[in-house]
Structure 1
Amino acid sequence: MALLSAVGVALGAPAAPGSAATPPAASPAPGVPLPAAMADTGGGTQLITARARTLGATTGTVNWWQRHNGRWRQLGSAPARFGAGGLAEGRSRVQGTKTTPTGLYDLPFAFGTASAPPGTTAPYRRVGADSWWCEDNASTSYNRWVAPLPPDCAAHESERLAGYPTQYSRALVIGFNYHRPVRGRGAGIFLHVNGKGATAGCVSVPARTMARILSWVRPSAHPHIAIGTTSGPTAVTRY
């Protein structure tokens, strides 16, 4: 499937996508940067977009963008993997479906079993043997990093982060259901390093890409990630 604990305006839930009566959203016209066609980019000057062709897709593309003098410029692109169950609208996603939630989210902080790459300015937590992500709906620590695991958070309902040394060598927490958690919607959604295949609901990228993104992200730029499809009601441009 844990940058920036004070990231400016924090989005606990994605903006609502267009209604069924709205014409299908599509990719921007040639020459128009994707962020310029979006309904919202989070208000900052750094943006990551993660797009799949359809909700059922398990692969797609991650791009990262910088805004300077009012214009967005793409700085990089890489292949991405999504949940084994595809993607799902973030507002109605159900925990345990292995779907990646669509929407626009902040990036609360970074973490990893490896050290932060050179140039990292985001808050970065090193994973230890007792570092967990609590995903127990009954716990007061639901959808939170905990160390050690608290008594009210069942281990079988949570992730021991050190147990995924490849995927969690470096990662960013995606602010899905994070700031005002709704039980049953989902927990532990990250941007992390690729494993062997599709994820359990996160977005994953090659290790080199993850290191580049972490070195690039700046808390002062209020970075966000927009996850969605290339067209339709869950198009990235709708969020």
Structure 2
Amino acid sequence: MINRRTAVALLASPLLLTGCGGGAAVTPRRTSAARPAPTPTATPSPEVSAQAAPRRIPGLGPKRTAAIPGRSRQAVVVTGRGRNSPRSTVVLYQRTDLGWEAGASWPAHNALRGWSDHHTAGDLRSPLGVYTLTDAGGLLPDPGTRLPYTRSGGFTSPGTGFEGEPLAGSFDYVVAINYNRRTGTSPLDWTRPRGAGRGGGIWFHVDHGGPTHGCVSIARAHMKDLLRTLDPDRHPVVVMGYADWLAG
């Protein structure tokens, strides 16, 4: 989470679908009472199975899966260790004709006090939900993202974190999470459609080694990978929350 002076951020390697082919037909034994030979049952090929049941995102229950827009072909899933935990993992999924394919799993931090289904300013919890990802920025030059990117000195992050770690460099790269913000604008835009009391300034940003105010933070190299992979033509979203909630 950021204030007016300081703004407070998965490459996919496909999972392989494997399956076994059907065995040879067995010749029936002759018995005293002749019986017709059984008709061999064909084992469906992996391709047929995939078409019948596209791969889903592991850990997401029906409610969270249904909340992902049908046009979204990229989903960043943030899975918290628990409702009150500041630690989580991040995986970027890409949707193909066969379903969702996962990238690497990256360690992450979320808010100090965990998660909330009614995030408010200063509660030190990250908002649960599914949010679009449309805008990026940072203190450093654009690393090669296809998202609109705002470079600004407003992304300076002075001071220290909750564990005494320096915050310098935390906002070198950020991706705005579209919770209580106006989409299509710089992450530094302070418009709050739900009102200031519902918080805002929720981003992906560079990890500083400790919990955040409400954002999700990952290592610098992973932030650059995320920025280079997100594609506005694939309508990326983030699905974020603790594991039990995601399974709902």
TM-score normalised by length of structure 2: 0.65
CA distance in 2, matches of 1:170, 1:204: 10
**What CA deviation, in whole Å up to 9, does each residue of 1:166-224 have, x standing for no partner?**
11010100011114333301021101110131001100001111110100000000000
Maintained 8 Å contact 2:136/2:175: yes
Q: Secondary structure at the match of 1:79?
A: strand
Residue 104 (1) aligns with residue 130 (2): yes
Identity level (%)? 28
Paired letter, 2:238:
I
1:176 to 156, 175, 179: 179
Paired letter, 1:33:
I
CA distance in 2, matches of 1:228, 1:219: 23
**Structure 2 counterpart of 1:126:** 151
5+ residue gaps, structure 1: 3-30, 132-160
Q: Extract structure 1 runs of 4+ deviating beyond 4 A.
A: none
5+ residue gaps, structure 2: 2-6, 8-54, 159-167, 183-192
How well do the aligned residues superpose, as a CA RMSD in angstroms? 1.9
**Structure 2 counterpart of 1:189:** 202
- Greater share of strand: 1
Maintained 8 Å contact 1:80/1:204: yes
Maintained 8 Å contact 1:42/1:223: no
State the Cα distance separating 1:107 from its structure 2 match. 1.4
**Structure 1 counterpart of 2:164:** none
Aligned length: 173
Paired letter, 1:162:
T
Residue 72 (1) aligns with residue 100 (2): yes
Maintained 8 Å contact 2:134/2:236: no
CA distance in 2, matches of 1:115, 1:196: 23
Q: Secondary structure at the match of 1:34?
A: coil
TM-score normalised by length of structure 1: 0.67
Q: Which has the higher contact order (CA 8 A, sep 6+)?
A: 1
Maintained 8 Å contact 2:156/2:169: no
Q: Computing the radius of gyration over CA atoms, which structure comes out larger, 1 or 2?
A: 2
State the Cα distance separating 1:77 from its structure 2 match. 1.5
State the Cα distance separating 1:229 from its structure 2 match. 1.3
